[in-house]
Structure 1
Amino acid sequence: MALVVFVVAFLGLASITSAWMPGTNKNITGIGGNDLFARTSSPQPKAYPPSFSPWSPNAGKIRGVNLGSMYVFEPWIGTQAWQAMGCGSYKSEFDCVSGLGQTKANSAFQAHWSSWITAADFDQMISYGLNTIRIPVGYWMDESLVDKNSEHFPQGGFSSLTQLCGWASDRGMYIIIDLHGAPGAQVTTNPDTGQYAPTAGFYVDYQYNRATTFLSWLTTQIHSNAQFRNVGMLGIVNEPLQSASQAASMRSTFYPNAYNAIRNAEQALGVHSTNALHVQPMNDLWGSGDPKAAMPSGATLLAYDDHRYLKWATNVPVSQASYIATSCNDVRTSSGETPTIVGEFSLSVPDNVQWTSAWEPSTQQAFYRKWFLAQIASYEKNAAGWIFWTWKSQLGDYRWSYQDAVAAGVIPRQLGSISTAGIC
């Protein structure tokens, strides 16, 4: 009966599912009170340069960056920072907290959160014309879910997340929060889950229930605190396994339960349909099956996450011409999966060629600039937009760092130029 009541209560959302962009459903506004995704430029506050005009004619599209290694640290992205925290000999957050002890680890991670991404970073993003951030988080932000005897994660992250979302909201940025680290780990031996787990333990009812509890809790926090006012979407699990049995279990059990947990939390708070969050699973192209298959009847405001790395694409010839042609013709939306956002992509190429003369970043800036423009032109034409992985790194390689790629002249400082780039 509860599900029937829930579905009826949200059927009113069905009429607005096609009007997805922020400012049309969720009441999100940009700098100076302007519609976040308005298609015409408007005067900006004096605090910004007179030439500042982030909302180009194509600005109805998502144009964003991931905040990689902010709350789910991947050591390969920031080796120096990882070492400075005292974590250099550890493979993941779980391992570092276990090794350092909770008190010492808390201090180390809190220092990292206060320095890795600051308010100044958001000012820089805005000046480049970016309008969106995607924030990877782990379930341990809800500290009540952590088994203190067997799980080891930094504490205090949620207050930092609250401040960070406030900075982004104040600047009119759209915010996607993504469950990157699921209970039990959704993949093996990968620090992007928060732990270097030998097995993928996520795919059982106990862990699904913890994840849905986290999503319900996070939804409540988002709708109860003005700092989160520009959060418009929750990614329900990042890059899950593609194996038939585990993916089937996730689709049939976790996906509908996650959707219901978010909607039930909103219903309990009396959230109006125009402020409901978009619920975002990985899309069918990811390889874990059709994410829509077991969603509740009448489910609305679904969005889909696509990750596109030619670096690991086995069916694309490794040549500059092939990469440009592939990206120009890339269609990243499967049937019925609208809107799809290309939530991760980069300029990195296969490991075995990345430092050869044909791909050397210090001499091939012209190619990488053209490839970036080809990718985003396609992702705006055939999808709802894009989010680069990642905003910053300590690799000394702009192919993984939006900030460094702009400094290198590979990514344009003003994204308005892409509509006339003529790359494809």
Structure 2
Amino acid sequence: MAFLPALVLLLHLLAPVLAGLPDKIYGVNLGSWLVLEAWMLPAEWLAMGGDNCADCSQCIGSEFAFAQAYPDTVDATFKGHWESWFNQPDVDKIAAAGINTVRIPLGYWIVEPLVDRSTEYYPRGGLQQLQRGLQQLKDAGISAILDHHALPGVQTAGQQFTGRCTSDVEFYTDYNYHRALIWTAVMTTLSHLDPAFESVIAIEAVNEPIMDATQTPGYGDFQQNFVKVVRAVELILGLPVPGVQLDVPVTTANFTHAVESVCGATQLADVFTPEVIKTLLDAVPVLLELAPQLAVAALFDTALPAAPCNAKHEPLVTNFMDVNWQYNSPPNPADAALGPQGYDNHLYYSFGGVADPNPDAYMTSICNLNRVQSDAALGNSPLWFGEWGLPVQFNTTDAFLTMWADAQKLAYAQGKGWIFWNFKVEESALAGDLAREWSYFKGLELGFLTQDPSQVHNASVCAPYVNSTAAA
């Protein structure tokens, strides 16, 4: 921040340099595209056939409930939503705004073979939409983070962002951890072998797990396995993984055969644990089912490892919510790192518990924020803020929202950067004033956000709020 130049420089110098990531992330989330959250588009959701209710578990308030209610038409209905909510004009607006990164919330059901259709209900066809959108982003020179936003079994109760509003949280089980690892293997493979995925720079393991670590048993082991699955795929592809080398030759030009060959012969137990091997073998039939749909011939015939079609790729950045997201002795994701890794924090003042609901309290809090420093002390660096916005808990003015945007951007730029929630929200009578504080596009239009995302209106906006202790 402007008032702590020496500290910011030190943090920048100490943070690991991660290949593929921009020097500073200036991003937006593509929320409500491939994981729909009805609160962000209330009029469209009603027109689709959904309900808007206070408790989303008691109505058609999620993708799961919608697919269960409309099994014969859900795929066509969602295809219309996917194609209208995010398309080429949106990509053009994102590029024109100087945004260099998007974070794409995804549900596990986008990998359709993972869904148990006897008990789980979700629309089909999302993976082809992701491929289409990634190609458009690639053509525009915009990097992408694939965010596993909605996990098998649901990772947090009562939230539309999990795809199913329920109090029955079952992600933290061996069965669903394993399904999430298969998803990870598939996404890693596609990120390296599908040309449309070339702009993918990172995969995020779990969006917003339960904050109380006593309620997430096994999560530390999952973090370890998540990283190892990503690196195992990359080793088979012949990509350089720092500090480790594959101990068996890859002699086939068929990727799925290469997986089976390596898993049957490797003694590299630090990476290819029994769970990782089982995950990769279980991913093979999934990839074989998806490849014809996506027209990814490389899954069947690519020169490995001498001249892989993905030779220009660096290893992906593995990405976790930071250790301070949880309390009650959480596992530290830094302990799982193998190769490039980054950390994500989300900060919303509008839900309470951060600062008193008034402008001075908000500004004092954000201008003395120390999350980048506290995370770095625990090895969680580089840190970026993967979700934030302008909403507040009180009636506010345009002048304050301009200050509020500046102060947050300065605070989050102490780390690796920021990703605004959301690129847009619905503008309708039913949505009311929602876009004013939640839409990046609207924030630009109203002047709260600068046309150059690296700039602010007032670099000294925090000067009156910095306390002497923080300044020291």
TM-score by length of 1: 0.81
Unmatched tracts of structure 1, length 5 or more: 1-15, 29-36, 38-59
Instruction: State the shift of 1:293 in Å.
Output: 5.7
Aligned-partner residue type, residue 256 of structure 1: Q
**Number of residue pairs matched?**
360
| Cα distance in 1, alignment partners of residues 358 and 352 from structure 2 | 12
Instruction: State the shift of 1:319 in Å.
Output: 1.4
Provide the secondary structure at the position in 1 that maps to 2:38: coil
Instruction: State the shift of 1:294 in Å.
Output: 8.0
| Cα distance in 2, alignment partners of residues 290 and 243 from structure 1 | 8
Greater Cα offset, 313-322 or 216-225: 313-322
Aligned-partner residue type, residue 292 of structure 1: N
- Alpha-carbon spacing, 1:223–1:17, altered in 2? closer, same or farther (3 Å): farther
Partner of 2:116: 147
Correspondence for 1:208 among 177, 180, 184: 177
Aligned-partner residue type, residue 33 of structure 2: M
| Cα distance in 1, alignment partners of residues 371 and 122 from structure 2 | 35
| Cα distance in 1, alignment partners of residues 332 and 175 from structure 2 | 22
Correspondence for 1:265 among 233, 244, 249: 233
Are residue 292 (structure 1) and residue 316 (structure 2) matched? no
Correspondence for 2:88 among 103, 115, 119: 119
Partner of 1:389: 421
Instruction: State the shift of 1:61 in Å.
Output: 0.9
- Alpha-carbon spacing, 1:272–1:307, altered in 2? closer, same or farther (3 Å): same
Provide the secondary structure at the position in 2 that maps to 1:410: coil
Greater Cα offset, 285-294 or 141-150: 285-294
1:317-396 aligned within 5 A: 317-333=356-372, 334=375, 335=377, 336-350=379-393, 353=394, 356=395, 359=396, 364-381=397-414, 383-394=415-426, 395=431, 396=433
Provide the secondary structure at the position in 2 that maps to 1:152: coil
1:245-264 aligned within 5 A: 245-251=214-220, 253-264=221-232
1:178-193 aligned within 5 A: 178-193=147-162
| Cα distance in 2, alignment partners of residues 293 and 393 from structure 1 | 32
Instruction: State the shift of 1:332 in Å.
Output: 2.2
Q: Is the 8 A contact 1:283 1:290 kept in 2?
A: no
Provide the secondary structure at the position in 2 that maps to 1:175: strand
Correspondence for 1:86 among 42, 46, 49: 49
Correspondence for 2:67 among 97, 102, 105: 97
1:230-249 aligned within 5 A: 230-249=199-218
Instruction: State the shift of 1:377 in Å.
Output: 0.8
| Cα distance in 2, alignment partners of residues 146 and 80 from structure 1 | 29
Aligned-partner residue type, residue 377 of structure 1: L
- Alpha-carbon spacing, 1:399–1:212, altered in 2? closer, same or farther (3 Å): same
- Alpha-carbon spacing, 1:416–1:220, altered in 2? closer, same or farther (3 Å): closer
Partner of 1:224: 193
Give per-residue Cα distances to partners, 1:107-159, cap 9 Å, x unaligned. Answer: 00000010001111111112111111000000011111000101000100000
Aligned-partner residue type, residue 311 of structure 1: S
Q: Is the 8 A contact 1:343 1:387 kept in 2?
A: yes
Aligned-partner residue type, residue 367 of structure 1: F
| Cα distance in 1, alignment partners of residues 46 and 237 from structure 2 | 43
1:153-168 aligned within 5 A: 153-168=122-137
Unmatched tracts of structure 2, length 5 or more: 1-13, 52-58, 242-312, 463-472
Q: Is the 8 A contact 1:166 1:227 kept in 2?
A: yes
Aligned-partner residue type, residue 191 of structure 1: Q
| Cα distance in 1, alignment partners of residues 138 and 369 from structure 2 | 32
Provide the secondary structure at the position in 1 that maps to 2:39: coil
Greater Cα offset, 80-89 or 109-118: 80-89
Aligned-partner residue type, residue 344 of structure 1: E
Provide the secondary structure at the position in 1 that maps to 2:218: helix
TM-score by length of 2: 0.73
Q: Is the 8 A contact 2:27 2:102 kept in 1?
A: yes
Kindly report the root-mean-square deviation, in angstroms, between the aligned alpha carbons of the 2 structures. Answer: 1.9
| Cα distance in 2, alignment partners of residues 282 and 349 from structure 1 | 23
1:392-407 aligned within 5 A: 392-394=424-426, 395=431, 396-397=433-434, 398-407=436-445
Q: Is the 8 A contact 1:307 1:344 kept in 2?
A: yes
| Cα distance in 2, alignment partners of residues 139 and 417 from structure 1 | 36
Partner of 1:409: 447
Partner of 2:17: 19
Q: Is the 8 A contact 1:279 1:301 kept in 2?
A: yes
Instruction: State the shift of 1:222 in Å.
Output: 1.0
Provide the secondary structure at the position in 1 that maps to 2:147: strand
Give per-residue Cα distances to partners, 1:310-369, cap 9 Å, x unaligned. Answer: 12342412211221222122122212111111000111113xx3xx3xx2xxxx111101
Partner of 1:305: 344
Provide the secondary structure at the position in 1 that maps to 2:120: coil
Report sequence identity in percent.
32
Give per-residue Cα distances to partners, 1:3-28, cap 9 Å, x unaligned. Answer: xxxxxxxxxxxxx98221xxxx23x8
Instruction: State the shift of 1:420 in Å.
Output: 6.0
